[in-house]
Amino acid sequence: MIHDPWEPPEVPLAVDLVILTLRGTSLQVLLIERAIEPYQGAFALPGGFLAHVEEDLGTAARRELAEEAGIEAGSLYLEQLGVYGEPGRDPRGRVVSVAYLAVAPRLPEPVAGSDAADASWQPTNRVLSGELVLAFDHRRIITDGVERARVKLENSALATAFCGPAFTIGDLQEVYEAVWGRPLDPRNFYRKVQKASGFIVPVGREQRTTVGRPARLFRAGLSSVLSPPITRPVAPAADAADTHPEEEG
Amino acid sequence: MIHDPWEPPEVPLAVDLVILTLRGTSLQVLLIERAIEPYQGAFALPGGFLAHVEEDLGTAARRELAEEAGIEAGSLYLEQLGVYGEPGRDPRGRVVSVAYLAVAPRLPEPVAGSDAADASWQPTNRVLSGELVLAFDHRRIITDGVERARVKLENSALATAFCGPAFTIGDLQEVYEAVWGRPLDPRNFYRKVQKASGFIVPVGREQRTTVGRPARLFRAGLSSVLSPPITRPVAPAADAADTHPEEEG
DNA sequence: TTAATAGTGTCTGTGAGACAATATGCT
DNA sequence: AGCATATTGTCTCACAGACACTATTAA
């Protein structure tokens, strides 16, 4: 409707990172404690503005991942989660944020970065249940990220990204149980992962030190999509986030 | 790492719209023919920049939908599809675009809007097969949108949005066949949609004029998620987009 | 009656979940 | 031997797909 010379409005663009890892049998998310206003002292996702106007979004995500958590994203699963851009989500003014999901095997304790007073791993359960209060709309972003990871586990070989280069089927099962938040039958799980062609391949029939019978070691296969999928039981979030229903954004 | 006063870079933000509808038995997408550079004369998705810096993204999408296609989005299914923001996707410079997916019942012919020489419905098959060449990365956006719609048909009551207020199960089957691009068995389809509780509810046992036995009329039920889902046959894109593999962005 | 479409019932293979049974290490 | 864990096998039920069959209208 406007044919006059008109400059399109420009908005500050940020990336937020949902970094999930497994610590023990708990699915945890990397959070920082904000050192500056707004939301000073509150937990928040790592992230930040683009470094310059031509920076690629994925590049920015990997840069923030390295800066704020000391994680090199080379071998990391990284996926766009969505755009969070309602006016008012940031009290400083209009900020549009692109959320990325990253998943990593057991990681060391993070070190606090530039604008963070602290950085730490926190169980996703404490976030999903509302026990931890987060800045901005970051609770919703984490909720979306965890649900995305749960679905990804069904259809993709994502679970192997949580494991080391060699793992047992029991290790893999622990990953599924931690992310899905429910126990699985070892026998049926065994059958399923074996049937998904290209999911895992046995590595030179080595064993592992245990109390019982040693387990075979596997490594990630070439397939990134699982067929048939590893279906998860019904009632998607029955024990991990069953405290109260979610409000919609 | 920068503690000096520093202004975050700002980028022009746009929305692009994948508007899908059913015309006959063909799934079609709304395209415009660009009147201005870049890509003058090429097909492209409707869309545009934010009107002002505080405009909500969803609001902008609905505004563009009304401006460029004359569609009031009040009763319309509208969903965020993703962010497309690689530097270089727009020859004018850095532009980040948020893509939205909209789905509507049979719509009238569109009228060309401001910066469009023409606006028309085009079969998605012609886009997916590469027969139609699109501006920017819009072919990829449409590919993502169609795939999203196909998945949505499995898990949600989206299909009823393609129909009128009252429809037969045969009508509903035509929707599924058009979006999925493959024929379905009427008997099995009948059983599935009836089993999905809350998907469709019979409306006052009315009938319809046909050549054969009249069909019962239904309306959309209250459930928005289907349980059990209406699963689609294997080989997701076997006939519609089987020409050549996709390049990844 | 015949044609045409709507709707129902039956059969069969596959796969998920429950769980018994066997294998292989350690102490 | 006895225990603990890994791995395999079996059973049953539910469901998807194929398809014969019945029901209801118009001509």
The predicted pLDDT at position B88 comes to 87
Q: What is the CATH number of the domain that holds A85?
A: 3.90.79.10
Could you tell me the pTM of the whole model?
0.86
- Using a CB–CB cut-off of 8 Å, the residues of A that contact B are 1-3, 8-14, 49-57, 67, 80, 82-83, 85-87, 94, 96, 98, 114
Give me the mean pLDDT over the B184-200 stretch.
94
| pLDDT score for B248 | 27
Rounded to whole angstroms, the Cα distance separating B159 from B219 reads 11
Q: Do B13 and A11 touch (CB under 8 A)?
A: yes
Mean pLDDT along residues B209-227: 89
Which of A191 and A227 is assigned the larger pLDDT? A191
Which amino acid appears at position A95 of this protein?
A: V
Instruction: State residue A249's pLDDT score.
Output: 24
For residue A37, what pLDDT is reported? Answer: 78
Residue B1 lies in a domain: no
Give the CA distances from residue B93 to residues A54, A55, A58, B88, in Å, rounded to whole numbers and listed in that order. 9, 12, 18, 7
Would A142 be classed as within a structural domain?
yes
pLDDT for the residue B161: 87
Predicted local distance difference test score (pLDDT) of residue A28:
94
Nearest residue, CB atoms, B10 vs list A12, A67, A86: A12
- Distance from the Cα of B200 to chain A's closest Cα (Å) equals 22
Q: Are residues B210 and B131 in the same domain?
A: no
Nearest to A28 by CA among A137, A135, A103: A103
**Is the pLDDT assigned to residue A26 strictly greater than 80?**
yes
Judging contacts by C-beta atoms under 8 Å, the chain A residues touching residue B94 are 53-54
**Amino acid identity of A153?**
L
Q: Do B100 and B35 belong together in one domain?
A: yes
pLDDT score, position A73: 66
Q: Please check the confidence at residue B109 and state whether its pLDDT lies above 80.
A: no
Query: Closest to A1 (Cβ–Cβ): which among B13, B80, B114?
Result: B114
* Reported confidence tier of residue A238, pLDDT bands at 50, 70, 90: very low
Residues of B with Cβ-Cβ distance to A1 under 8 angstroms: 67, 114
Three-class secondary structure of residue A42 per DSSP:
coil
In a domain, A248, yes or no: no
| Confidence bin at A248 (pLDDT 50/70/90) | very low
Same domain, A172 and A188: yes
pLDDT at B220: 94
Give chain D positions with protein CB within 7 A.
Answer: 3-10, 15-20, 23-26
Average pLDDT in the A18-38 region? 89
Q: What is the pLDDT of residue B73?
A: 67
Tell me if A6 is assigned to some domain: no
**Half-sphere exposure in the Cβ direction for B227 (13 Å, CA):** 6
Q: Can you give the pLDDT at residue A35?
A: 83
The pLDDT assigned to B241 comes to 32
Specify whether the CB–CB gap between A163 and A170 falls below 8 A. Answer: no
Contacts of A98 in chain B (CB under 8 A): 83, 85
Q: For B167-182, what is the mean pLDDT?
A: 93
Question: What's the confidence (pLDDT) of residue B235?
Answer: 55
Q: B24 and B147 share a domain? A: yes
For residues A200 and A143, membership in a common domain is answered with no
Same domain, B148 and B163: no
Using the predicted structure, report yes or no on whether residue B185 has a pLDDT greater than 80. Answer: yes
Residues B144, B117: one domain?
yes
Q: Is the Cβ–Cβ distance between B198 and B222 less than 8 Å?
A: yes
Q: What pLDDT shows up at residue A227?
A: 86
Which residues, in sequence order, are CB contacts of A63 under 8 Å at separation 6+? A51, A55
pLDDT of residue A189: 97
Task: Verify that B101 and B202 share a domain, yes or no.
Answer: no
- Which of B235-239's residues contact partners 24+ apart within 8 Å by CB, and which partners? B236/B147, B236/B150, B237/B128, B237/B147, B237/B181, B238/B181, B238/B182, B239/B181, B239/B182
Residue B1 has a pLDDT of: 52
> Which nucleotide does the CA of A194 lie closest to, via C1'?
D7
CB contact under 8 A, B8 and A9: no
Mean pLDDT of A162-186: 93
CATH of the domain at B226: 1.10.10.10
**How close A8 gets to chain B, by Cα (Å)?**
6
- Say if residue A142 is in the same domain as residue A28: yes
Average pLDDT over residues A230-249: 46
Q: Looking at per-residue confidence, does A119 or B153 come out higher?
A: B153
Q: Do A94 and B54 make contact, defined as CB atoms within 8 angstroms?
A: yes
Tell me the mean pLDDT in the region B194-214. 84
Do residues A97 and A145 lie in contact, with contact meaning Cβ atoms separated by under 8 Å? no
Q: At residue B44, does pLDDT exceed 80?
A: yes
Q: Does A114 sit within 8 Å of B51, measured CB to CB?
A: no
B18-to-A29, A222, B47, B60, B103 alpha-carbon distances in Å: 34, 33, 9, 14, 8
Cβ atoms A47, A137 nearer than 8 A: no
How large is the average pLDDT for residues A164-183? 93
B78 pLDDT tier (thresholds 50, 70, 90) = confident
Please write the tens of the pLDDT for every residue from A112-150: 666 667 888 999 999 999 999 999 999 999 999 999 999
What's the pLDDT score for residue A95? Answer: 92
Which of residues A137, A152, A167 is at a domain's end?
A152
- A170 in the same domain as A148: no
What pLDDT does residue A212 have? 87
Please answer whether residues B102 and B78 qualify as being in contact, where contact means their C-beta atoms are separated by less than 8 angstroms: yes
Examine residue B249 and state whether it is found in any structural domain, yes or no: no
Q: What is the pLDDT of residues A57-101, one digit of tens each?
A: 999 998 988 887 777 766 677 899 999 998 988 888 899 999 999
The residue in chain B having the minimum alpha-carbon distance to the alpha carbon of residue A81 is B82
Q: With a cut of 80, say whether residue B14 has pLDDT above it.
A: yes
Among the three residues B103, B120, B152, which one is the final residue of a domain in this structure?
Answer: B152
Mean pLDDT across A12-25:
92
Residue with the larger pLDDT of the pair B61 and B233: B61
Query: What's the whole-number mean pLDDT along residues A153-174?
Result: 91
pLDDT at B115: 67
Number of domains in chain B: 2
CB contact under 8 A, A11 and B11: yes
Query: Which range scores top for mean pLDDT: A98-112, A221-235, B109-123, B137-151?
Result: B137-151
Q: What is the mean pLDDT of residues A39-52?
A: 92
Which pLDDT value is given to residue A5?
66
Last residue of a domain, one of B152, B178, B206: B152
pLDDT value at B132 more than 70:
yes
Q: Which residue range(s) make up the domain with B181?
A: 157-242
Q: Please compute Rg for chain B using Cα positions.
A: 20
Q: B208 vs B123, which has greater pLDDT? A: B123
Are both A106 and A225 inside the same structural domain? no
Q: How far apart are CA A21 and CA A161, in angstroms?
A: 10
Strand D closer than 7 Å to the CB of A184?
Answer: no
Whether B37 is in a domain gets the answer: yes
pLDDT score of A36: 83
Other Cβ atoms within 10 Å of A233 Cβ, number: 11
Chain B residues in contact with chain A using a Cβ-Cβ cutoff of 8 Å? 1-3, 8-14, 49-57, 67, 80, 82-83, 85-87, 94, 96, 98, 114
- pLDDT-derived band at B24 (thresholds 50, 70, 90) equals confident
Residue B2 lies in a domain: no
Q: Are residues A50 and A129 in the same domain?
A: yes
B179-to-A155, B18, B247 alpha-carbon distances in Å: 22, 14, 22
Q: Which residues of B64-87 are buried (b: 16+ CB within 10 A; e: fewer)?
A: bbeebbebebeebbbbbbbbbbeb
Please give the span between the terminal C-alpha atoms of chain A, in angstroms, as a whole number.
Answer: 31
Q: Is the pLDDT of residue B171 over 50?
A: yes
- Closest partner residue to A8 among B8, B12, B57, by Cβ? B12
Tell me whether residue A247 is in a domain: no
**Mean pLDDT of the B154-169 span:** 91
pLDDT band, very low/low/confident/very high, at B113 (cuts 50, 70, 90) = low
| pLDDT given at position B4 | 57
Mean pLDDT over B30-58 rounds to 91
